[in-house]
Every structure is written in structure tokens, then in C-alpha cells.
Structure 1
């Protein structure tokens, strides 16, 4: 069986009557070609079925045009949106994505690093497990640029793009307190990671500043199947079982902050079964603003996370490092803003707040140096 020959730059050059160099410049976006000529060459290339030879380009540029992406939990909608943003932004610049999943397992993470070193990726965008960092140091020492996302490793010399979870939880807690609740609960996932710890810190700071007594504040850990594997999705039964065990003793006029929106699925049912009304008896704010949040009854207030912005920014930070490999500038730590989306679940009567609570929307900020 005869196989079709791969269309080359020489074929396109012959078809348009121009030099191979002109065709190459047009298809790679170089400035020395007019837009009219570029459009004509691209149209001919498309008609002939031209596909760039990435391997040949890699040999010329000394790059494989591939970004390694390592995440912990593909079942988390936040990470699904993050991956999509990384892939889209990388594609604009001609990069492919090599995706690997650690499942919150340090051994899986080390294997991912070994794979990236074998493949020779140009750079890596990583959500780390936060259980050791020697393998990341080894990858960086090999010359691979790394950007950490969402979770930091402050002792590793690479850039970080993240979210200020402590401030976001603090502001969400203040919102609940501003509605006049006189007790506060936090439902948080039973994982020992920085994002969870930061939300607990923000919640604790808010209730402390407002002077709630200790017996009016509880932090409850929701058991998680993700100790077994991060690919196991959250289940409503996890928060339902926990909520059912505490709902009978839940005081009236209570505020509840959830570490993620999925906890609301079980909590809502437990409250309804106990005859507790939202928001009359209990006011609730979630975290993540997942697509179903606005369709719950009542609609769930939630902290919207900038997953797409974070993914795009991580690619831009990485490409900036790749474009200036010889320069050894300090690590850049950048935080991107969240937004509190207020819906019916927390729409209780407003009261005069304590002096000067922080703005509901955090601002992006970037700083040089260690974090």
C-alpha cells in the first residue's frame, strides 16, 4: 500500500513561488513577512495538509516544545479548569502538554519527575504533594524550569503562582459574621496540605477578631477517600455522615464555611432532614463556586477561584523563564484574586460589622524573593 508523503516547506514554497525561508518565516510568525503574504502562504499550507515537523524544530531550537504538568487530583473541577487553561495557553505558543497525576503520593510524584527528565521537557508546571522536595531540586538542577501552582514549596528556588486561601477564607467568614450569626463551623477536608491549613487559619483569624467564644466555634474534618487515591471523587456521603452526627446539636443562627462546594451536597440533605432551614437557621458559604452551586436550593454562596487565570499566568511565568535562561533572577511569588459570590444560602439580615473588615475581593499581587 502506498503511503502519502509528508508535505514539506519545499512543497509549499514551490506552490506559492517563494523561497523556503520566506515560507518558514510566514508560518512561524516572523515579522519580515507581510500579512497578505502570510495569509496566502498559510492558506496554501492548509490546502496541502502541511503539519509542522516538531522534532525537526526541536533540533533547531534546542527545545522539545513540551511542558510537563503534574497535578494531584484530576477529579477536582478546579484542576480540570487549570489543566485546560495551561493546555490552551501553551498551544498558542506552540507547546504540547505532558500530563501526569501524583494522586497525593510522593512516590508517584518522584516517578513523574524521572519521566520528565527522560523526556527532556522544556519546563514543568506543578501542583506539589508537599511531602519532600529533593526530586524537584534535582529537576531544577538539571536545567528544567519549574513553576509551582496552588501549593508552594518555599525552600525550592522556582516561581509560584497561587491563591491566598487564608485571606479568602477570612473574608468569607467575615461575610457570615456580618449577617449576624453567633456561632461558626468550618467543614474542612481531612488532608494535611497547605491550602486546607490556610483556610483554617483564615477562618480562625476572623472568629478571633470578632470575639466569638471558643464554645461557639468548631473546625470539623470531613473524612476523605482521597487518602486512598486522589482520583477518587468527593462523595456527598462523606459530608452527609459528618453533618448528620452534629446537626442535632447545631445552634440556631449558625454560620458554616465549607472547604469545598461538594460538602454542601451532604450538608443540605442532613439539615433538611433535621428540619433546619437555610438561611433562616443556618447560613452557608462554600469554596470553589462549582457549576452546581447556583442550582442548589437555596443557591449556594461560594468563593470563586481563578483557575483559568492561574493556569494562564503559570504558562506565562514559565515561558518568561525559558526565554531568559541565562538570567538568574529571584523567585517570583504571585497571588491571584478570588471573588465571594453571595447567593441565597448566606443572605441573612445584615448587621453593622466590626471596624473595617477587609474588602471582599482580594487583589492580585506579585513579589520578588523568597516566600
Structure 2
């Protein structure tokens, strides 16, 4: 299947039987063009997804050396490390980086796609909000090479690289089971995204394989703060409030798995206020292995995410898409996370049969 290409002023001029100069003047709003001709040119430009001004000029001159990176939440340490990795790797390929943040907002995402179309980007690495594929479908239709990261949109057929979150959820749960947990609760974000769904699927698979029950309330949503339709940076406060309600249950779980290490901060505080200790009264497993995880008391067992590996592969895949020099890498790649065992699960095993890995 032929790669889509960017449409030029010459293409529009040929279709409408106009001169390139007339088309250029119509799109740039200059005088001397009739309203009917201007409307005709603008309609055709919209139909073919014409990329105006800076990007078109840079392509003509062969100087489009910037790639876009679109992320959802800059407070997430995974993305902080990702930004650094992508910038370093892109520089090695002689590309600079344009960063755009959507804050989990569909409106911001649409603006991000438009911004990339109007900027001098050679391609884009995108963490989609997953509300709609339309912003990135438009990017692909305009011939901008795009690689999706961490959250896929299979209907687009774009190349994709991300963390194997299902495996991460499975390994966290399996570890708790192997340390003797018979009842486990998951605290997860309330966002409708595949990374969360996959972690929960891994949890359910491990529990099923261990023959352990998953009663109602085994997965608890932690509200994501929002302001003007945008998600705010993670705050431990929401997890703290949810944990306080959890600790009112007549029977407490043996272990709690949190969807990110920030939630562990809130859970630790709630446990301390209730006179409970980790791991003797409750084991805690995080997700992310953020810089503070090893400095909590007790140090947090957590799933380390492969941000550096994912970011490096994403850049390499995008450069392949830009240059057409494909290496034979698979279209979709999932990178396994690593379970980092620390003191928050260092409790004597109670003899429960081990889970197969």
C-alpha cells in the first residue's frame, strides 16, 4: 500500500486549473482574489488536508528536522523520563523536539494535531487521549508519519510501542499472591484508557489462576482531578480519601495494588492514621517505580516501567517511517515491565500455592 503524501500548492492548482500563485494568494488571504475563487481554493485545501505555510516550505527546502511529541500528563514521571529519552534519541538522528501536552483533554488533543500540521514537523510520536482517533487520522491523511506510544488506536494501523501493562498487572498480583495474600484490592485511576484496562485485566488473570475470589469492590476507582475539562497533575489526596473509605471495611484486604506510586503516598498516610503497618497489616505494591518509591518507609515494591526503552524504540520507529528505511521491526511492540521487590511486601509467606509465571 502506497504511503500517503502531503498535498502541495501545485496539486491544488492543477485540480482547480489555477496558477500556483493564485492558490498561494487565496490561502494566505492576500488581495486580488475573488471571494468565489478564495472559497473554492479553501474548500479544496480542506478536502485534501493541505498543510500550510511553515511545514510546506520546510518540505520544499528539505529542512523539516523537527519531530512532535504529544503527551497527556507532564506530572507523570514516566513521561518526564520519556521526554528526556526522546529528546536525546531524536538529537542523535539530527532532529529537534516539539513538545505538546493535552492534559487528557479531547479538545486539547484536536488543537495539538492542528498545531503539528501547522508546524515544521517531520513526524510525530503521540500518546493519544483515546476519546477519538480523528485528530491523528487527520495527521496520517496529511502524510505526517506518526507513531503511537503507550496507548494504541488499532483502527488507524499506525506503528505502536508501549509498556505491557497487562503483564505488569499480572506480575504485581502474582507477587502479592506468592507473598501470601488471599484478598487483594486494586486502586486505579478513573480514566477510560487502555493502559488501565490492561493492568486490571492482568490482575484478574492472576487472581483467576490462583483460584482467589474477586468480590465486588476488588477494583476501586480513584477520581482524577479536573479543571475546565483537563486532567490535573496526580495528587495523593484522592487516593488518601479513597483509602480511608477502604479501611472502614469490616475485613481488610491482605494487599493493595495501586495504579501509580503517587497513590501509595495517600494509602500509606491512611494506614498510619489507622494504626496499621506495612507490610504486616497490609502489603502495598505500586506502579511506576518513581524516584521516591525506594525512599518511602517501608520502601515500596513496585512495577518499573520501561520508559527509556519505549522512548528509544519510538524515535527509531518514527525515523524509519520518515526515511522509508524500514528495519523489519514488528508493527506493534510491547515492552515488559519489571517488578522491583522492596520492603512493602516483605511479609512471611503463608503457604499459598505459588502461581506459575
Check whether TM > 0.5.
yes
Q: Which moved more, 1:121-130 or 1:250-259?
A: 250-259
Alignment correspondent of 1:170: 170
Question: 1:129-278, aligned counterparts within 5 Å?
Answer: 129-215=129-215, 218-226=218-226, 232-249=232-249, 251=251, 254-278=254-278
Alignment correspondent of 1:301: 301
Alignment correspondent of 1:336: 335
Q: 2-side partners of 1:59 and 1:333: how far apart?
A: 28
Q: Does 1:83 align with 2:83?
A: yes
Q: Which moved more, 1:210-219 or 1:104-113?
A: 210-219
| TM-score (norm. length: structure 1) | 0.76
- How many Å apart are 1:173 and its aligned residue? 0.2
- How many Å apart are 1:331 and its aligned residue? 6.8
1:184–1:216 Cα contact (<8 Å) kept: no
Q: 2-side partners of 1:337 and 1:330: how far apart?
A: 17
Alignment correspondent of 1:68: 68
C-alpha spacing 1:273/1:355, structure 2 compared with 1 (3 Å): closer
Matched residue SS, 1:155: helix
Q: 2-side partners of 1:86 and 1:139: how far apart?
A: 20
Q: 1-side partners of 2:243 and 2:253: how far apart?
A: 16
1:75–1:230 Cα contact (<8 Å) kept: no
2:85–2:312 Cα contact (<8 Å) kept: yes
CA deviations on 1:221-274 (whole Å, 9 max, x unpaired) are 111204756562222211111111121326356111110000111111111111
Alignment correspondent of 1:103: 103
Matched residue SS, 2:154: coil
C-alpha spacing 1:346/1:58, structure 2 compared with 1 (3 Å): same
Matched residue SS, 2:148: strand
Q: How many pairs does the alignment contain?
A: 302
- How many Å apart are 1:217 and its aligned residue? 6.3
| TM-score (norm. length: structure 2) | 0.79
Matched residue SS, 1:68: strand
C-alpha spacing 1:191/1:250, structure 2 compared with 1 (3 Å): farther
Matched residue SS, 1:244: helix
- How many Å apart are 1:354 and its aligned residue? 4.0
C-alpha spacing 1:152/1:251, structure 2 compared with 1 (3 Å): same
- How many Å apart are 1:286 and its aligned residue? 0.1
- How many Å apart are 1:353 and its aligned residue? 5.7
2:225–2:231 Cα contact (<8 Å) kept: no
Matched residue SS, 1:176: helix
C-alpha spacing 1:292/1:244, structure 2 compared with 1 (3 Å): same
Matched residue SS, 1:357: coil
Alignment correspondent of 2:118: 118
Matched residue SS, 2:184: strand
- How many Å apart are 1:215 and its aligned residue? 3.5
Q: 2-side partners of 1:173 and 1:58: how far apart?
A: 50
1:284–1:300 Cα contact (<8 Å) kept: yes
Matched residue SS, 2:247: helix
1:188–1:221 Cα contact (<8 Å) kept: yes
- How many Å apart are 1:115 and its aligned residue? 1.4
